Amino acid sequence: MDKKEKIGVYVCHCGTNIAGVVNVGEVSTWAAENLKNDGVVIARDYKFMCSSLGQELIQKDIKEQGLTRVVVAACSPHLHEATFRNACKGGGLNPYLCELVSIREQDSWVHTDKIAATEKAKAILSGGVSRVIHHEPLEPLHVPIHPATLVVGGGIAGIQAALEIANAGFPVYLVEREPSIGGHMAQFDKTFPTLDCSACILTPKMVDAGNHPNITLLTYSEVEKVDGYVGNFVATIRKRARSVNEADCTGCGICWEKCPKKVVDNVFEAGMGYRKAVYVSFPQAVPKYPVIDRENCTYYIKGTCKACEKFCPTNAINFAQEDEILNVQVGNIILATGYDLFDSRRITQYGYGRLANVFTSLEFERMSNAAGPTGGNIVLRDGKTVPKVVGIVHCVGSRDKNYNEYCSAICCMQSLKFAHLVEERTGAEVYNFYIDIRTPGKGYEEFYHRLLEEGTHFIRGKVAEISDAARLPAEEGKLIMQVEDTLTANQLRVPVDMVILSAGLEPRHDAKEVANRFGISCSADGWLIERHPKLDPVATVTEGIYIAGCVQGPKDIPNSVAQGAAAAARILGKIQQKEVALEPIRATIHEEQCSGCRICNNMCPFNAILFHEDKMVSEVNPALCQGCGTCVAACPAGAISGTGFSNEQILSQINGLLLLNIPKKEVVA
Amino acid sequence: MSKPKFAMYWAASCGGCEIAVLNIHEKILDVDAAFEVVFWPVAMDAKYKDVEAMQDGEITLCLFNGGMRNDENEHIAKLLRRKSKIMVAFGSCACEGCIPGLANFRPIKELVDTAFSTISTDNPENIRPQTSYSMPEGAITIPTLNPMLKTLDQVVDVDYYMPGCPPESHQIAAVVDLVIAALNGKAELPPKGATIGAGNSTVCDECQRKRNVKLIKEFGRIQFTEADPELCLLEQGIPCNGIATRSGCNARCPSVGAQCIGCYGPAEGVVDYGARLIAGFASVIDSDDPVEIDKILDGLVDPAGQFYRFNLAGSLLRASKSAQKG
Amino acid sequence: MQRITIDPITRLEGHGKIEIFLNDDGDVANTYFQIPELRGFENFVVGRPVEEMPLLTNRICGVCPEAHHMAAAKAADAVYHVEVPPTGKKLRELLYMAFFATDHTTHFYALGGPDFIMGPDAPVAERNILGVIHKVGLEIGGKVIQMRKFGHNVVEIIGGRKVHPCTSIPGGLTKGIIEEQRVEIEKMGRWAIEFAQFSLQAFNDIVLGNKAYVDLILGDIYTEKTYYMGVVDANNKVNFYDGKVRVVGPDGIEYVKYEPKDYAANIAEHVEPWTYLKFPYLKNVGWKGFVDGADSGVYMATPLSRLNASDGMATPLAQAEFEKFYATLGGKPVHQRLAIHWARLIELLYSAERWVELATDPEITSPNFRAIPTATPTEGIGIVEAPRGTLTHHYWTDERGVVTKANLVVGTTNNYAPITMSIKKAASSLIKKGNVNEGLLNMVEMAFRAYDPCFGCATHSLPGQMPLEVSIHNAAGDVVDVLKQFVD
Amino acid sequence: MTDTPETKPFEPTIIGFTCNWCSYRAADMAGTARMKYAPNVRLIRLMCSGRLDPTFVLKAFAGGADAVLISGCHPGDCHYINQNYKALRRFLLMKRVLAQMGIQPERLKLLWASAAEGAIFTREINEFVEQVRALGPLNWNTTAIEVHAEKEEVPA
């Protein structure tokens, strides 16, 4: 070191979070004595370093002691690195000359042996001190924020987010995989606990989104690739061929009326009803244009038919239409891709798919929907028999080690809703089989009480089996639900006509690929991970990418809407600022040392490294570099350096961490 | 005024450095003209007495080649350090241990045992050399071998490093010119600790072979490879160390179809030469599957030997565990 | 008991230390010549791929790396049971001839030569290469430099590098030469022949023309009647690169002639506890200590021994000098050690002639310079004549061609015993009644230097030198006087 | 060579390299969830396991570490798409070199841990510490690297 740095060391108690295990006083005294040679001129410990008083302490020392470096031993940099960098900035020190080392998450919270934890804290601190010596003053990189936003998923969460941003006057691309936006909510009949009609509250929002001048609606489309970084993403979107020219189509409906080919509708009607080969998902679909399902269309299979084309008054049918690939530039992205319903077939003892009158929750939603296959009549598979006894099974596929350990959050309320609808429409007797009744939410508990008063039966127990094997005359022709009533400890056999399985929510089957495509990660059970479970539920670790609705975890409509709005608000704030500051962590190739060996050329997945044939040297494009440092580690000539994580910084940190391992005589040398 | 004094000494080296200096041919006369050669055992009868009698720092320039294999090497290194103003670690042995440093893979005892039990050795009593042995006429002694071979700067303070096994004569000539110019105040000497007589980049910088993005499914061996004379050897699977080896030799070996074996050591600022090769060779492996990667790595029959061929004694680890116990 | 320590001997490549003990009368009681270092190549090459041996064992000696490069390459060929195509062999031998010429030049003019050219009693400051240049004149000094330059240029053209060549691989070389290079090599070769003749002339004028030197050579003190070893071709002519090993007895009659692969059946290495170097001897004669004669297995392997062990030189000019040599020194074998210097110059001429022969060989520019090995590697032995004696490399490998065991019997080692004997003999006849002066000590060294011993080479020991220092101990063992060599 | 008296069981020192996005967050999560693991590991945060320069590992061993942990995102989950595969290649080659240097390959561990896997991180560290404890101390810093007290300095 040519000139000796003046380093200030600050050890945080974090109340008792750290001080309860680590002897913070001993650590700061040790640092003051043993790290003198590294340039430590002052070492303090303080109750809460992140408090304004703590920060002022640092700023005061910078001014009075002329500190050139600051090391704070406190919590994880992921929590407070920015806090202390700003504190240094306030004190007139370049924020990047501050190092925050974690003696909480990585020490006091995970260890019980106080002596060992204190020794470890010393090591971690001395690592930070050795490292900070080699920090360089840096300036954050400022990149402009493109005002447009990409919203992936046209369910209620995505629609809400899109509308919030669009209404604020900024462009939005709303991408939906299905032919229409609306998502699961469009399939429901009533919504709990108020029982107002789902379509009635959703449709206006869908229409708004469809007509909004700031919203480009891309249905029947999927995002295939995302490049770039916060402020400047480029999304590659495949707009699948509808075989219908949107410009000419009026949505009159003649085509699907005339279409001779009936197809079981497994998506919207959950297999309960039929659609044509040319179809709109449902009457209120947005956009109104139909699509031709090429897998089932007779023309595409046999090469003849073209009924739709013949009858279309505006010649909008276009069999030759091809997929379009669009590249859209956006500044931020919201993922609201929702959930898949748990496949009840997996619980074979419940007989779904084998026993005709076992229904899934989504099937029941369609059945109870006036616009649905049965016109709202609740009947058995035969389409006419009205059930006299109905059993509703809660927690299907949820809270179960064999399937999903988590609670799907909506099943209790959904089951109560079903029970109410059954009684209201059929007067049938209803049995709810539950593990616990969970009704956290405005008006939810009240709804539960209403059901109790309506005389619905509640049996606390997990249904073991559903079968049609009758043992008693009374069971003939019925479905028998085998269950232990855990309140009375009685084994029950309950004969019913109809069973509704209140299936849980699962991450989309392709959630992992989607996460990878957008550079974020999934939790063990497959839901996308938010930046902080409490304080930052809609952001992700990747700048500029947000999540909303069930893609983040099971939740009901109000929460999904809230998250959509929240994500939008976060993004609007960013757009307003017009630019975003990025960590100045970048790789640089030093031309005079580069031998042009091209080892690094296959190291960069962001194509930030280019090779100049003329000069026979490689170069890093800082705009594309993401700062991972892989090329820095790969360069055999040592010709690549990485700011923020330089070899000097890391190697010195290793020295510092191992200081205590060095024989005493050397420590004071 | 008397001429500046010049010394050249060989410790644990092969003598190739001396030959390389003789190979500056006519320039040797410039050295003779510019310096008073006070100590150069290979070329002249030395005046050790005078060296001992000299003032500290009286020798202006000392080119010291050879590693520290025994206590005698260290003794002279320390003496010459005291007597010399500019101490140059000259050649791979002094800089980083060179091939003799490969001895640091094994305990010194094992080295001695092997030498005295080869098939042609007639040694029924299994004798080993003794550092002090009393003959009827009196005790006679030989130096004690160091358990690990050391580099010059692991024993004394070094001003400049001149790498190469041996250093290229044109580089030696250039350095001689520089020093002479500097003595006449016509040039600046580089900062202490600098590497002189070599480039800052790696051998590829001077190699004329064509190169592409490197992705390798199999490493080869030179005797089995009919190498394309135009194309980068490493791309053809031949374990060439040129990617990590300091430039300055004009890529001699690759230019005649032989892989670079690394005699010029690490490039400027590199902490551990072998680590650079580990990173470099790992980077060209064209697979993400651990099993396949291991299969590809089997093609490198002696990775540590290859990556630390000249550099083991000067590396971060310096020697294998067994050598340390030795 | 008096004790004189010569530690070590200057102007030889490598490191040696001589202990001379005087009895109470001040006469030589015994001498010990010690090699103070060991580096364990045989051990640490284990685990390395065999194709690296020509590159690693190079570094045993920077003075004759070409010899190790060749012996190792030939051993590696044998390990792979691969036959090097004719052009490959010729290229290697061509490189080797240029090296021999260079090495012999270096020795004669820089190392051994000064003793003669400057005279043993000349002031020290002049008894070195610069002194030689000053005496024989800059123009001739320039020739010496030119000769070394040409030699190294050829080594570089074929071997890739001036020192530590890198092109020999199992099965041949990594590259051949093109016509332009051949022409250049031939030109330099023809110049080398002239230089060799000039050098012989110089020797003739300066040494043979000076009665004092002739007496020195013919004088008894350096003479040892030992066996003589050298590699010979099918016609028993001297060959450096290839052939059988021939040994003649003190009487000059062939004692044995064997294939390189049978070396272990014919030589063994004796061990003494006071030195790191071993003493090779003829196994079937046996080790009888440091004595000469037909009953002692001690043999010599030097230019002189190669001439003694052969029936002549394979090239005309050298053959003529060969005949003159024996005529002048009274027929074969010549036992006088100082004649090695002369023999060396004859070999210089031979290597220059052979250099031109090979450079003008029509096959030399053919692309047929390597064969790709196909057999499973096992074990192989490679032998060449190094300037300082027969050099043997022997490797065992696993099926991947990774060395599992190695044995090296290196040029200078061959002469360890005879050198020791010569030193004792010289000391005994030069040191009387405790009368010691550094002039005499230098004479002791001359005996030594005649062999041009290279203890960089001397297997597994590293070079490195300290100047000569003599401590004289009285019978009580106290130091009564300390002489440093070459006090002006 | 640490201050621990001979009577106590050997406490290995392990240097751990974590990536900023997955494994360091796994460690954070272990902390937030108050999971407990052995105090022998000292972490260094890199942006990506791809930043891991073999020099760091050698430096750690040379400096007295008994073992080194390299951890990053699961294959396919890398925040930088696929850089952890580059770390994997280096790791596999490094193990071979270390073995030749007489450092048991078990002293170098590669651990994939996602930001959600605090529990796995905790378990793996505890297992690793025990494994290294069984291997015993390495003490490279005291057996290979002498203190250059006797090193000759230039005349002032």
Q: Which residues of D90-105 are buried (b: 16+ CB within 10 A; e: fewer)?
A: bbbbbbbbbbbbbbbe
- Determine the pLDDT at residue D146: 54
C179-203 and C339-359 helices cross at what angle (nearest 10)? 160
Residue C309 phi/psi, 5-degree rounding, is -85, -5
**Mean per-residue pLDDT, C343-350:** 96
**Mean per-residue pLDDT, D35-52:** 97
Closest among C439, C471, C419 to C5, alpha carbons compared? C471
Label residue C453 by pLDDT band (50, 70, 90).
low
> pLDDT 10s digit of each residue in chain B, 326 long?
578 999 998 888 888 898 898 888 778 778 878 888 888 876 666 656 677 889 999 999 999 999 999 888 898 899 999 999 999 999 999 999 999 999 999 999 999 999 999 999 999 999 999 988 888 777 888 888 899 999 999 999 999 999 999 999 999 999 989 998 998 899 999 999 999 999 999 999 999 999 999 999 999 999 999 999 999 999 999 999 999 999 999 999 999 999 999 999 999 999 999 999 999 999 999 999 999 999 999 999 999 999 999 999 999 999 999 998 64
A77–D39 C-beta distance less than 8 A: no
Label residue C466 by pLDDT band (50, 70, 90).
very low
B212–A636 C-beta distance less than 8 A: no
Q: Which residues contact A559 (CB under 8 A, 6 or more apart)?
A: none
Report chain A (669 residues): mean pLDDT per 10 consecutive residues. 83 96 97 95 96 96 97 95 96 97 97 96 97 95 93 97 97 97 95 92 95 97 91 95 95 94 93 94 94 95 93 95 96 97 96 95 94 92 94 96 94 96 95 95 95 94 94 93 95 96 96 87 86 87 92 96 97 94 92 96 91 95 90 97 96 93 45
Q: Which range (A39-43, A238-242, C464-468, D88-92) has the least confidence?
A: C464-468
Q: Cα(C314)–Cα(B82) distance, rounded to whole angstroms? A: 54
- DSSP string over B208-239: -SB-----BS----GGG----TTB-TGGGT--
The helix (run of H) or strand (run of E) holding residue C135 is: helix C129-136
pTM for the whole structure = 0.84
Instruction: Using CA coordinates, name the residue in chain B closest to D137.
Output: B321
> Would an 8 Å CB–CB cutoff place B300 in contact with chain C?
no
For residue D45, give how far its alpha carbon lies from the nearest alpha carbon of chain A (Å).
9
Question: Are B276 and A637 spatial neighbours (Cβ–Cβ below 8 Å)?
Answer: yes
Label residue C456 by pLDDT band (50, 70, 90).
very low
Q: Which residue has the tokens 């020290």?
A: C124
Q: Cα(C303)–Cα(C290) distance, rounded to whole angstroms? A: 21
Name which of B15, B17, B221 is nearest C51 (Cβ-Cβ).
Answer: B221
> Would an 8 Å CB–CB cutoff place B82 in contact with chain D?
yes
Q: Which range (A613-617, C144-148, C374-378, C383-387) has the least confidence?
A: C144-148
> Would an 8 Å CB–CB cutoff place B180 in contact with chain D?
no
Closest among C386, C371, C351 to C88, alpha carbons compared? C371
Contacts of A634 in chain B (CB under 8 A): 279-280, 282-283
Q: Which two tokens stand for residue B245?
A: 């080896």
> Would an 8 Å CB–CB cutoff place B49 in contact with chain C?
yes
For residue A14, the one-letter residue type is C
For residue D49, give how far its alpha carbon lies from the nearest alpha carbon of chain A (Å).
8
CA dihedral A381, A382, A387, A392 (to 10 degrees): -10
Residues 40-79 of D with CB under 8 A from A: 42-48, 50-56, 59-60, 63-65, 73, 76-77, 79
B274–D93 C-beta distance less than 8 A: no
Instruction: Using CA coordinates, name the residue in chain A closest to D32.
Output: A105
Contacts of C369 in chain B (CB under 8 A): none
Q: Which two tokens stand for residue A149?
A: 């936003």
Question: Are D54 and B310 spatial neighbours (Cβ–Cβ below 8 Å)?
Answer: no
Name which of B72, B142, B252 is nearest C276 (Cβ-Cβ).
Answer: B142
Closest among A357, A379, A339, A340 to A501, alpha carbons compared? A357
D31–A110 C-beta distance less than 8 A: yes
Closest among C164, C140, C141 to C152, alpha carbons compared? C164
Contacts of A101 in chain D (CB under 8 A): none
Per-chain mean pLDDT for chain C: 84
Contacts of A609 in chain B (CB under 8 A): none
- Determine the pLDDT at residue B1: 53
* ipTM of predicted assembly, 2 dp: 0.91
Contacts of A127 in chain D (CB under 8 A): 42, 44
- Determine the pLDDT at residue A512: 87
Label residue C459 by pLDDT band (50, 70, 90).
very low
Q: Which two tokens stand for residue C456?
A: 């960089």
- Determine the pLDDT at residue C479: 43
B209 three-class SS:
coil
Instruction: Using CA coordinates, name the residue in chain C closest to B111.
Output: C40
Subunits in contact with chain D (3 or more CB pairs closer than 8 Å): A, B
> Would an 8 Å CB–CB cutoff place D90 in contact with chain B?
yes
Q: Which range (B248-262, C202-216, D43-57) has the least confidence?
A: C202-216
- The end-to-end CA distance of chain A, in Å, is 16
Evaluate whether chains A and C are touching (3 or more beta carbon pairs less than 8 Å apart). Answer: no
Q: Which range (C28-37, C64-73, D78-87) has the least confidence?
A: C28-37
Residues 6-25 of D with CB under 8 A from A: 11, 13, 15, 21-22, 24-25
D21–A105 C-beta distance less than 8 A: no
Question: Are C15 and C461 spatial neighbours (Cβ–Cβ below 8 Å)?
Answer: yes
Instruction: Using CA coordinates, name the residue in chain D closest to B300.
Output: D93
Closest among C105, C182, C186 to C149, alpha carbons compared? C105
Q: Alpha helices of chain D — where are they, by DSSP H?
A: 23-32, 54-62, 83-100, 118-135, 140-143
For residue B112, give how far its alpha carbon lies from the nearest alpha carbon of chain D (Å).
20
Cα atoms in the 13 Å half-sphere on the side-chain side of C410: 30
Interface test with B, best of C20, C43, C284, C488 (most B CBs within 10 A): C43
Q: Which residues contact C47 (CB under 8 A, 6 or more apart)?
A: B105, B302, B305, C402, C403, D100
Evaluate whether chains B and C are touching (3 or more beta carbon pairs less than 8 Å apart). Answer: yes
Q: Cα(B308)–Cα(C2) distance, rounded to whole angstroms? A: 48
**Mean per-residue pLDDT, C22-48:** 85
A602–B243 C-beta distance less than 8 A: no
For chains A and D, count residue pairs whose Cβ atoms are closer than 8 Å: 167
Q: Which residue has the tokens 């995102």?
A: D73
Q: Which two tokens stand for residue A303?
A: 């090469």
What is the Rg, in whole angstroms, of the alpha carbon atoms belonging to chain A? 31
Label residue C469 by pLDDT band (50, 70, 90).
very low
Q: Cα(C261)–Cα(A483) distance, rounded to whole angstroms? A: 90
Question: Are C471 and C3 spatial neighbours (Cβ–Cβ below 8 Å)?
Answer: yes
Instruction: Using CA coordinates, name the residue in chain B closest to C152.
Output: B23
> Would an 8 Å CB–CB cutoff place B320 in contact with chain C?
no
Contacts of B280 in chain A (CB under 8 A): 597, 599, 634-636
Contacts of C484 in chain B (CB under 8 A): 47-49
Contacts of C466 in chain B (CB under 8 A): 41, 48, 72, 76
CB atoms within 10 A of CB C34: 24
> Would an 8 Å CB–CB cutoff place D134 in contact with chain B?
no
What is the Rg, in whole angstroms, of the alpha carbon atoms belonging to chain D? 17
Instruction: Using CA coordinates, name the residue in chain B closest to D57.
Output: B275
- Determine the pLDDT at residue D1: 44
Bond preceding residue A193 cis, omega within 30 of 0: yes
Closest among D10, B49, D25 to A531, alpha carbons compared? D25
pLDDT of C11 over the 80 cut: no
Contacts of A658 in chain B (CB under 8 A): none
Q: Cα(C427)–Cα(C441) distance, rounded to whole angstroms? A: 8
Question: Are D141 and A666 spatial neighbours (Cβ–Cβ below 8 Å)?
Answer: no
Subunits in contact with chain A (3 or more CB pairs closer than 8 Å): B, D
What is the Rg, in whole angstroms, of the alpha carbon atoms belonging to chain C? 22
DSSP A23: -
Q: Cα(A4)–Cα(A332) distance, rounded to whole angstroms? A: 44
B258–C36 C-beta distance less than 8 A: no
Instruction: Using CA coordinates, name the residue in chain B closest to C77.
Output: B223
D2–A127 C-beta distance less than 8 A: no
C416-430 and C438-450 helices cross at what angle (nearest 10)? 150
* Cross-strand partners of B134: B139
> Would an 8 Å CB–CB cutoff place B24 in contact with chain C?
no
B284–A636 C-beta distance less than 8 A: no
Subunits in contact with chain B (3 or more CB pairs closer than 8 Å): A, C, D
pLDDT of D145 over the 70 cut: no
Residues 127-146 of A with CB under 8 A from D: 127
Q: Cα(A124)–Cα(A438) distance, rounded to whole angstroms? A: 45
